[in-house]
Structure formats: C-alpha cells, structure tokens
Amino acid sequence: MIVIDRAEWRTMRWANGGGTTHEVMIEPPGATTDAFDWRISVAEVHTPGPFSSLPGVDRLLLLIGGAGMSVHIDGVAHEASRVTPLSFRGESEALCESLADGATLDLNVMVRRDRYSASLTVVPANSRVTCAVNERVVVFALTTFTTVLADFAEEITIAEESAVIRLRATSTDD
C-alpha cells in the first residue's frame, strides 16, 4: 500500500495552457501527459473554457470543491457532481460552459482505453474496500485529499468520505 500526501503532488499547466492541474499519481511513474497509461489529478478551474483534447483517453471527472460547473460534452449540457462522475472520451469536444459561484476543484481520472479501464465511486466514511486480483484501487479522501494506492487483494478501511477509483488493465502487453 502506498500513501501519497498532498505535498507530493506535481503542479503543472493544463495541456491546453488554460489552467492548473495537480498530478496526484501517474503510471508509469514520471510519464509525460501525452505518454501515460493512467493518470489521476486535481484541476483548479477559475474560468470557463475548453478541455484539453486527449485522443485515445477515457476521462472521469468528479467535482470536489466549489459550488458547481456546467460542462458541455459534444454539445450536450451536464452538471459536474460531487456524487456521480462525468464520463467522456478525451477526443470529445468538452467545454466548461460556466462556474456556479467562482472557482472549482475537480478530481480527474484518465486512462488510455487500449490499456486500462477505470471506475470512480464515492463511498461513505467507515467503508471497507477490497482490491481484487489484477486490480489497482486508489482511495482519494475528499476532506484531507490523502491518497492511498492498493494492489492485489489488499483491504482498506476508509476513515472519511472518499472517491474510490478502480483501475483494471485491458491489455497485458507491455
């Protein structure tokens, strides 16, 4: 089990230059934003604007701070939620249309669809999460932003409300 503290996040500009993201973890370690297998980050959204185009990547977005964000994906309006993540393809035309009341924070999970699949679920405090064989589980605490990575049949008891990210390899090719 690996625990990652907020102080260990790597901060960088968005791929499209329109904002800031804090990289929580990336696989393989040290990969660039155009060569990762999977990536988990927290974005600061201060103004409306387009999302970066990431062909071949599946994206999940969960609102974790701020009053709200309206996102248009391929022309269809969606509201970012603290409970149910938005799911969309990296090549989709995605636009943060408006912010409800100032800046927001969102948790982003991105996977190369030819290598991984991902799910994201919000779970209450005092939940138990078990990592299945051939699965990686990332628990992202929604209050402290502490992150735990578990592998291969480890079990975690969650102390606070958290986002649970399950990553499964879709290909065994290296």
Whether this model's pTM surpasses 0.75? yes
Instruction: Name the CA dihedral angle for 80, 107, 120, 99, rounded to a multiple of 10 degrees.
Output: 0
Same domain, 132 and 99: no
pLDDT of residue 83: 92
Q: For the chain, what is the domain count? A: 2
> Does residue 2 belong to any structural domain of this protein?
no
> Does residue 3 belong to any structural domain of this protein?
no
Residue by residue, pLDDT tens for the chain (174 residues) are 778 888 889 999 887 777 799 999 999 999 988 899 999 999 999 889 999 899 999 999 999 999 999 999 999 999 999 999 999 999 999 999 999 988 899 999 999 999 999 999 999 888 888 888 788 899 988 888 888 888 767 788 877 888 888 898 886 454
Same domain, 55 and 102: yes
Which residue range(s) make up the domain with 75?
9-112
pLDDT digits (tens, 9 = 90+) for 122-160: 998 888 888 887 888 999 888 888 888 887 677 888 778
Structure tokens at 14: 């968005």
Same domain, 86 and 25: yes
Same domain, 104 and 127: no
pLDDT of residue 171: 61
Q: Is 49 helix (H, G, I), strand (E, B) or coil?
A: strand
Alpha-carbon separation of residue 18 from 15, 21, 79, 108, 133 (angstroms):
8, 10, 20, 16, 39
Same domain, 22 and 64: yes
Percent of the chain with pLDDT strictly greater than 90 = 53
pLDDT of residue 121: 92
Q: Which amino acid is at 137?
A: V
pLDDT of residue 174: 45
| Domain end call among 71, 92, 112 | 112
User: What span, in angstroms and rounded, lies between the C-alpha atoms of 93 and 55?
Assistant: 11
Distance of CA 43 to the CA centre of its chain: 9
Same domain, 123 and 137: yes
